[in-house]
Amino acid sequence: MSSNFLEIKNATFVASKKNKIDNVSLTIKEKGEIICLLGPSGVGKTTILRTIAGLQDLKSGEINLKGKTISSGNFNLEPEKRNIAMCFQDNSLFPHFNVLENINIGAKRKNGSKFNYSDKDLIKILHLEDIQEKYPHQISSGEAQRVSLARSLLSRPDLLLLDEPFANIDTSLKEELQKKIKDILKEFNITTIIVTHDSHEAFFMGDKCGILLNQTLKQYDIPYNIHHEPNSLEVAKFLNRGVFVDVKVVETDCAVHSLSHPILGEIRGKLVNNFPAGSKVKLLLQPEDLRHDDQSKLKLEVVDRKFRGTNFIYTLKMSSDEKIPVFVHSHHIHQHEKSEKFGIKTPIFIDHLVCF
């Protein structure tokens, strides 16, 4: 018997006739881990959660929880017998119960797990004090989402599934809630799978992240690696972190690798994937990779400038018509207008050289 907490082996999830997610394998080794599944809308993230919860059949493969098979191609344990809680995107609060009653329904589950928070504690943590007596139709969708979360937490599940849990919550409250909920989940060792399309949320909440693209699980790794070492062009493009420019690999034998670009010149750093010297590859250039230097001889034309509070994002055009983004701190003394020349510090050094 496997000692992993949750195992998904070669699973095929079917969302609709046209939409399925093939060959998904992932493991949660320890109880209490938080996993985030990240992917664009319509890729089938919710289908995976629903199938794990037992609300949809698994087409093929196997899902094991605590060493017991709960879903396979020909078996599906009923949802009520799985001790898995799920917060739906539309919250699904019981319309004839008020907020407090809705939350307490979760507490009625008899499964022997310990959970030291009471309904009152959760109400306080999730800022629901003022709406306890209200009915679902009288509260906002963000509030409903928090009520749904409290209800699920109180049911002390073995596995908690959260479908876009912060989608309708105000930005000002989002970060605070993310932290609080992460703390609760960690404190009580509640294994959780979160589905989201927000990479910041996924990287903050998840011990591990899975990237779902083109009907399969493209990468499953810790957030740092996903960010800095995406394993495919699709993942890098999906995370939407910069642009790709054509470069040539010059030097790979030393500790610091070297690439060359006809306009940007030499680019140094550590190649994430191995390529032999002389290979022509595409390099991921992110806004934070290039530094502004008014004194530099490498000058590029400004074609756009966006103010983002703490920084500006300049879009620069190279003579080859390739456009690259660059962050500049907004305290920087002078601003560059469109068509002006913009200096870039050379030689360029990028810690992780992401090439494909």
Residues that bind other proteins (CB under 8 A): 50, 53-57, 76, 78-80, 82-86, 88, 90, 92-96, 105-106, 108-111, 148, 151-152, 155, 157
Structure tokens at 312: 């500006």
Could you tell me the smallest distance in angstroms from the CB atom of residue 105 to other proteins?
6
Whichever of 137 and 334 has its CB closer to other proteins, that residue is 137
**CB-based contacts of 307: which residues, under 8 Å, 6+ apart?**
330
Edge-first strand order for the sheet with 243-251 is 280-285, 243-251, 257-261, 265-271, 348-353
Beta-bridge partners for 326: 314
Edge-first strand order for the sheet with 34-38 is 75-76, 68-72, 58-65, 6-14, 20-28, 216-221, 208-213, 34-38, 191-196, 159-163, 84-87
Could you tell me the smallest distance in angstroms from the CB atom of residue 22 to other proteins?
21
Could you tell me the smallest distance in angstroms from the CB atom of residue 161 to other proteins?
8
Could you tell me the smallest distance in angstroms from the CB atom of residue 64 to other proteins?
18
Whichever of 57 and 266 has its CB closer to other proteins, that residue is 57
Structure tokens at 278: 């002389």
CB 222 within 8 A of CB 228: no
First CA to last CA across the chain, in angstroms? 39
Could you tell me the smallest distance in angstroms from the CB atom of residue 57 to other proteins?
6
Whichever of 53 and 99 has its CB closer to other proteins, that residue is 53
Whichever of 53 and 126 has its CB closer to other proteins, that residue is 53
**Nearest to 100, CA basis, from 126, 125, 124, 134:** 134
Whichever of 152 and 199 has its CB closer to other proteins, that residue is 152
Q: Is the peptide bond before 347 cis (omega within 30 degrees of 0)?
A: yes
Could you tell me the smallest distance in angstroms from the CB atom of residue 138 to other proteins?
15
Whichever of 96 and 334 has its CB closer to other proteins, that residue is 96
Could you tell me the smallest distance in angstroms from the CB atom of residue 235 to other proteins?
31
Whichever of 84 and 267 has its CB closer to other proteins, that residue is 84
Give the DSSP letter of residue 139. Answer: S
